[in-house]
Structure 1
Amino acid sequence: MADHSINGKTALIAGGAKNLGGLLARDLAAHGARGVAIHYNSAATKAAADETVAAIKATGAAAHAFSGDLTSAANVEKLFADAKAALGSIDIAVNTVGKVLKKPFVEITEAEYDEMSAVNSKSAFFFLREAGRHVSDNGKVCTLVTSLLGAFTPFYAAYAGTKAPVEHFTRAAAKEFGARGISVTAIGPGPMDTPFFYPAEGADAVAYHKTASALSAFSRTGLTDIEDIVPYIRFLVSDGWWMTGQTILVNGGYTTK
């Protein structure tokens, strides 16, 4: 039987410099991963990536940081090739990349739609493609989406709408990669307490989101905390391998399907 533990495995985390991706990278190393490759988008996040690499190395694991704009398929190809060369293999691949836009449907410009589509859909598609080419047999792949996929709400057409295709990408990849023992999942957190959340929301909306989940009163912030999501991803890329092709909403009762 295949070994589904994290111990001794390698991982590639897209968007792994800080916030949820950075915490996940540290967590996998703390749970025995022998090496972690961190992707960051640009020079603006290099310092955070270097800090995460240092934290991983302090656990005794190998760590490497790679920069690139993943809206380019060629850059996704290079990321996987470089990570595999550095680590020797890629057993776990997690894509946390995403961009939020909250705006009335009739005000969304073509340029805004194109950017949202590139970041949320195109990059996810090619990340999954390269995962299918490079992840080891019996490996694990997970993509971050959003709990808004289970919501009936205005103003997020471009955000949730460009994350929605990832559900089908996940199903198709799971069917195609399953013959090699690879499980493929997507996880949709609720509104998360990260620097990406607050600029997109007004004060009234923030107050609403902090009380919208059934378990809000028991959350550190009222929102979905990144510490609440990491254990679910860790489970999906280890003992939870039998779940595949699924999109799981993890949000304390914010939305459901």
Structure 2
Amino acid sequence: MTNSPRLAGRTALVTGGSRGIGRAISRRLAREGALVAVHYGHDAEAAARTVKEIETDGGHAFPVHAELGVPGDADALWTAFDEALARQDAEPGLDILVNNAGITVPRGIAEITEDDYDRVFALNARAPFFIVQRGLRRLRDGGRIVNVSSAATRVALPPIVAYTMTKAALDHLTLSLARELGARGITVNSVAPGYTDTEINPTLAVPEIRRRYEAASVFGRLGAPADIADIVAFVASDDARWVTGQWIDASGGVHLGP
């Protein structure tokens, strides 16, 4: 028997790891013993705050800055990661990659512009693809890739059609990578949140909308970021070594019926 944390001695990178669901994932992985690279695109204060929270809890983390959704983003991210990791006096390489960063474009097909479409795909689909591509030589055998998808890919939601298309693309990337990387013992899974209570969802400030979202779950409440983070921590651990290529519903049962 051992009391060692499940992820002790491992290094994780969480994109968009300083706020919302990403912040909860960063903190959860660190609590399991991982050294966590908290990526951020614009909000350095939020990243510093998340790192400080992790350290206060007894964990280890460091911030990594790179703007995603722009040309050269994957190379910039990995360069920043390599340099920051070296300053931690840690071994080069990575054990856990969580592709969490993303944006929503809340417009239907009649309103969305080509710029809107290109922007959401660049950040939500293109960036994870090339982050994985550039990161494979860093990812150790037996590693984990977790793609944060969306429960919206299983239903028709016209008001966020472009966003949902990007997450559907991410789901297929999960399948293809799981098949390709299995020989290295690397698992790849999608975790799909539903309605989640984060500060970056402004519609939750509208009481009627909030009540509707709460009622959608069989549990009668919104998901908490920690609900999602706990599932990510499971698939990132050795306990999920026989789980790969899966789409894991983390919605609180929003699709189970009226």
Shifted more, 96-105 versus 74-83: the winner is 74-83
- Compared with structure 1, are the counterparts of its residues 61 and 204 closer, same or farther at alpha carbon in structure 2 (3 Å cutoff)? closer
Structure-2 residue corresponding to 1:240: 240
1:185 match: secondary structure: strand
Give the letter for the 2:247 counterpart: T
Q: 1:183 to 1:146 in 2, by over 3 A?
A: same
- SS of alignment partner, residue 136 of structure 2: helix
How far is 1:241 from its partner? 2.4
Q: Does 1:27 align with 2:28?
A: yes
Comparing 144-153 with 231-240, greater Cα deviation is found at 144-153
* Counterpart Cα distance in 2 of 1:142 and 1:167: 10
* Partner residue, 1:214: 218
Partner of 1:219: none
1:73 deviates by: 5.6
Instruction: Give per-residue Cα distances to partners, 1:13-46, cap 9 Å, x unaligned.
Output: 111112211122122121112x21111001xx11
TM-score w.r.t. length of structure 2:
0.87
Take 1:68 and 1:104, find their aligned partners in 2: how far apart are those partners? 29
Per the alignment, residue 228 of structure 2 pairs with 229
CA distance in 2, matches of 1:113, 1:121: 11
Q: In structure 2, how many angstroms separate the alpha carbons of the residues matched to 1:215 and 1:38?
A: 31
1:55-66 alignment runs, 5 A limit: 55-66=53-64
The residue number in structure 1 matching 2:119 is 115
Q: TM-score w.r.t. structure 1 length?
A: 0.88
Letter in structure 2 aligned against 1:41: G
Letter in 1 for 2:116: E
Partner of 1:94: 98
Q: Give the corresponding residue for 2:36.
A: 36
Counterparts in 2 of 1:101-180, with a 5 A limit?
A: 101-180=105-184
Q: How far apart, CA to CA, are the structure 2 residues paired with 1:191 and 1:182? A: 29
Q: By how many angstroms is 1:104 displaced?
A: 2.3
Shift of 1:180: 0.9
The aligned counterpart of 1:78 is 76
- The answer as to whether partners of 1:102 and 1:200 remain within 8 angstroms in 2 is no
Q: Is the 8 A contact 2:103 2:123 kept in 1?
A: yes
Distance 2:202 2:75 in 1: 32
| Contact preservation (8 Å) 1:17, 1:39 | yes
Question: Counterpart in 2 of 1:52?
Answer: 50
Cα distance between partner residues in 1 of 2:205 and 2:16: 22
Q: Is the contact made by 1:187 and 1:249 (CA closer than 8 Å) also made in structure 2?
A: yes
Shift of 1:133: 2.7
Percent of aligned pairs with the same residue?
32
The answer to which of 5-14 and 58-67 deviates more is 58-67
Shift of 1:164: 0.8
* Residue deviations 1:145-178 (CA, integer Å, cap 9, x gap): 1100111232121110121101111111111111
| In structure 1, C-alpha distance between the alignment counterparts of 2:205 and 2:153, rounded to whole Å | 18
Q: 1: distance between equivalents of 2:241 and 2:79? A: 24
How far is 1:204 from its partner? 4.1
| Structure-2 residue corresponding to 1:68 | 66
In structure 1, C-alpha distance between the alignment counterparts of 2:216 and 2:119, rounded to whole Å: 29
- Taking the aligned partners of 1:139 and 1:49, their CA distance within structure 2 comes to 24
Deviations 1:200-247 (A, max 9, x none): 99654433212111112xxxxx21111111110000000112111112
How many residue pairs were aligned? 245
Task: Provide the C-alpha distance between the structure 1 equivalents of 2:253 and 2:59, rounded to a whole number of angstroms.
Answer: 36
Is 1:13 the equivalent of 2:31? no
In structure 1, the gaps of 5 or more residues are 217-221
